[in-house]
Amino acid sequence: MLAQQLVNGIISGATYALFALGFTLMFGVLNVVNLTYGVYFSTGALIALYATRHFGWPILLALPVAAIATGLIAVVIDGLLLTPLRRKKAPELASLMVTLGATLLLYSLMTAFIGTDIQRFPPAAIDPSAIEIGAVRITRSQMLIVGTAFAMVALLLALMRGTRLGLAIRALAENPDVARLMGVDVTLVTFFVSFVSGTLGAAAGILIGLNYNAIQPYMGEAMMLKGFAVIIIGGLGDIRGALIAGLILGLLEGLTAGYIASTLKDAVGFLLLVLTLWFRPVGLFGRAAAKRA
Amino acid sequence: MLKKLTALAALPLAASIWSAAALAQSKEPVTIGAIEILTGPNNKYGIAIKNGFDLALDSVNKNGGVLGGRPLAIAYEDSAGNKDQAINAARQLIGRSKVPLILGPTLSNEMFAAGPVANERKIPIVGTSTTANGITAIGPYVFRTSLPEADVVPVTLKTAQQKLGIKKVAVMYGNDDAFTKSGYDVMKGALEKLGIETLTTETFGSKDTDFSAQLTKIKSLNPDAIVVSALVEAGSGILLGKKALGFPEKVRVIGGNGLNAPKVMEIAGDAANGTLVGTPWFVGKSDPASEKFVDAYKAKYNMEPDQFAAQAYDTLFIVAKAINDAGAAEPEKIKDALGKVKYTGVMGPFSFTANRDPAETSGVVVIEMHDGKFRQFN
Amino acid sequence: MPAFLDDFLFSYQSLIYSLGINGLLALSMYVVLAIGQLSLGQAAFMGLGAYTSALLTLKVGAPFPIVLLAAMAVPALAALIIGAPTLRLSGVYLALATIGLGEVLRIAFVNSELTGGALGLSGIPEKAGYTIIFGSLALALIAFVLVSRSRIGRAMEAMREDEVAAGMLGVDLPRYRISALVVSAMLAGLAGAFNAHVSSFISPNDYGFDAAVTILSFALLGGIGSPFGPVVGVVILTLLPEVLRPLHDFRLVFNGLIIVIAVLFMPHGLLPWRIGRTGARA
């Protein structure tokens, strides 16, 4: 049982990490807590759902198309809501509030049109059979989640540290005014980061929707609460921190439910969150990696 | 201040008189109230119930209405699943629309809030979907037509024990929801009474999607079955998770009323096969009245009815009968008539106990999920 | 009392009560916003007050004034615990931590036998009435008007406009922040106690994230230039959905839209005037 519980923990931890990546990137670079992120998670899953269901697209086509479409939506939302505030140099809480309002608006609009019934991808979208390694079972969609989470972290870190674009992003994260003086096209880089973050959110929504078969507009909201815990524990803006914090949270939750009591499962994340805020508010690894790397 | 508020109040009042006038045929309609969840996350329950009411209403009015030819009308108020809105709705139906009876609200939680308001004003209030313990204990004006879980779950478990020889089970329930928690309380009592051993009791949140930790633990204990009190979302997730972890096929899920929904099979697919639930009614019930209802419902709404629609459908006939028996649209007389009413509908014979709960439990059937359809198990 | 007035009061009683209760909640949000912080824990503080008061009434049979005091003291304590670490950091941390607080409380209420778990507490006697609810609201308003005219009020305004400058001018930032949060929690707790004692039933899911966001929309619509702003916001957002039925169905859409528009286009809300500052423009 222990081996399976550890695998369970890694899978749900990878789920949290995958979700938190785009969220923490947005915070680290753009310096806003963008609550509409949960909406991208739901939107991506819903777009991919309609593409597979109504146009019969295979998931391998629906996933990138839905993710890119959601990335563009994220750019539009950023342009409408956050760019004006940046121009005005409004306090950071103003941007948190505006995204909070937009989140409520978007969720309730989505439910007004498509309801809150859960839906799933057509069963043919992914082979449901599990692979057995000794006493441990893992399904294809679960492997896909774990693989994608690690691959995305590696890709993002490579982008940030190894490319000119990454340099520009880091400059923006450090100080937008200085970055502008250094010749960085701040507007373009901002949109790029929003795009990447929206794409990541959507991809997470699609993969997680594929695994748990519970797609509905509010799926992002439920995930947000875990997302907060993960990005604070991992350090706001820290990409590697999000992965590790996600895995720690997933493992601790699994072990708590398996060996202590399932009633305490949900409390684990928030206990970790409170401990982090009291003793290490900068997160596990200190200063945000996006700013430091 | 008050004057201004009165003016504000007049607006919706004028609107409701206007729409009522449009509905009226020749005589003044008898308008009863209904509080259901018509918007928001749980509106699927409220809408199924409203559909059931409306279908029955068509039939009542086609056959001469109530009280010698007066059409029956329903004034709907939306509670959105929120107890404050449910209270507000009850107060307005009673004080402003002066309804002699209220149907609903949808959730037990809402009834705990709105029931006392109606009871205080001596207006009968009839829940059609409120299955929690203690509903009718609110007061002498609170009725329900839905069989409480306490009447259904023991039948399900007993049937499973007799037909499958189940001796030891694991229990899972959603502990953050009043409906699933109260379902669990009933399960716990019934399991003890039947002498079935409970190996472990695991909880989850109603919004959870990942149940692998709980299920892995359960699998290691080798139960004969898993007894689950969950709503559709979590219930489907548990069935899928159980399949992913490779439970032996003979380990069935035995569910409470929350799993009694076709949606579970739509989401869980073949992972739902073998799941047992008890129900006061199901869509495949072989009974002429029931089949006629299913056909009429499909014709009007283009989908299959669920038990909530069926319960609402019967309830409206029961209420119409009570209004006729009372001889006047007066709350006190309707209340007395409700206590004595006898009716046979799509769910079978119906009457109220002295405690205003349904008296008949003979209609309970245990059904099994099989390849996307419910079929009779016992 | 004439019959029509009796019917009117009966029909609209819970609506009128909610004007008063929401008014207190909006003011509790105002205190925090007024110093440039954001708390998303107002619903949680309200829930703490509601549960504390309901338990004291139901299980202990404590007199109502004591119940109300306790309903303010317990959330105040929670505010201290959560505020102490986060208020040292940037405003974002308080916002996120207060969301966490709401979740922790929900889990605690759900898992505790004492609080009735998910079934909540029912049969709470109706002990609050028009006098005490609207009396408390009036008192709170008067107190805030007096404070905003004083030195404290000017310091708060300075913090909202430019925290760094305010700090350099000698405003004791940490003390103001924690005091504001504690006062805010007390007001929300009081509102929760009133809510529990007029609606006879409370359950853990009544005090979630949606409730917190609605409270924020009250304050933002009315504006936080003066304590009257949030109350005006409450009156509009509580009564409008009753008058315009379509708004009822899209209540959440509307609340969301108000927050977006308020932040982007009218940062001072509907009531831009400030107490004792007519003439000075923002």
Tell me the nearest-neighbour CA distance from A217 into chain C, angstroms: 14
Q: How many CB atoms lie within 10 A of CB C89?
A: 15
Question: Phi-psi category of C182—alpha, beta or left, where left has phi over 0 and alpha has psi -120 to 50?
Answer: alpha
DSSP single-letter state for residue B198: E
Q: Kindly report, residue by residue over B96-135, the tens digit of the pLDDT.
A: 899 999 998 998 889 999 999 999 999 999 999 998 888 9
For the cut 90, the answer to whether the pLDDT of residue B85 exceeds it is no
Q: Residue C273: which pLDDT band, with cuts at 50, 70 and 90? A: low
Percentage above 70 pLDDT, chain A: 97
Residues forming a β-bridge with B79:
none
Q: Which two tokens stand for residue B309?
A: 């629609």
Among the partner residues B87, B112, B175, nearest to C117 by beta-carbon distance: B175
CA distance A238 to chain C (A): 15
Q: Which residue type occupies B117?
A: V
Domain boundaries, chain A: 20-226
Q: What residues contact A273, with CB distance under 8 A and at least 6 apart?
A: A228, A229, A232, A233, C97, C100
Q: Residue B280: is the preceding peptide bond cis (ω within 30°)?
A: no
Domains and CATH numbers, chain B: 2-147+288-346 (3.40.50.2300), 150-279+364-376 (3.40.50.2300)
Chain B residue with Cα closest to A222: B207
pLDDT computed for residue C269 by the predictor = 66
Write out residues 156-195 of B within 8 Å (CB-CB) of C.
174-178, 180-182
Q: Which residues of A touch B (CB under 8 A)?
A: 1, 4-5, 8-9, 11-12, 15, 111-112, 115-120, 123, 128, 130, 132, 137, 139, 142, 208, 212-214, 216, 218-219, 222, 253-258, 262-263, 265-266
Do B149 and B228 touch, CB atoms closer than 8 A? no
Confidence band of B16 (pLDDT split at 50, 70, 90): very low
Q: Given A123, A216, A263, which is nearest B203 (Cβ)?
A: A263
pLDDT value of position C238: 86
| 3-class DSSP state of B77 | strand
pLDDT digits (tens, 9 = 90+) for C107-132: 899 988 899 888 899 889 999 999 99
Q: Which chains touch B (3 or more CB pairs under 8 A)?
A: A, C
Q: Do A257 and B217 touch (CB under 8 A)?
A: yes
Distance from CA of C255 to the nearest CA of A (A): 7
pLDDT exceeds 70 at position C244? no
pLDDT of residue C245: 62
Q: What residue ranges do the domains of chain C occupy? A: 14-208
Residue C247: its pLDDT value, please?
65
Q: Min CA distance, A199 vs chain B (Å)?
A: 22
Q: What is the ipTM of this complex?
A: 0.90
Query: Which of C88, C216, C263 minimises the CB distance to A94?
Result: C263
CB contact A122 to C (< 8 Å): no
Among B331, B141, B366, CA closest to B254? B366
Task: Give per-residue pLDDT as tens, A201-244.
Answer: 999 999 999 999 999 998 998 898 889 889 989 988 889 999 99
> The tokens of C117 are what?
């778990």
Closest CA to C89 of A271, A93, A272, A234: A93
Interface membership of C255 toward A (CB under 8 Å) = yes
Question: Which residues in chain B have Cβ-Cβ distances shorter than 8 Å to C199?
Answer: 83-84, 87, 113
> Dihedral, CA atoms, B1, B2, B7, B10, nearest 10 degrees?
150
Q: Helix crossing, A219-234 with A239-255: angle to 10°? A: 110
B-chain residues near C203 (CB < 8 A): 83, 109, 178
Residue C199 pLDDT: 86
Confidence at A112, pLDDT banded by 50, 70, 90: confident
3-state SS class at B280:
coil
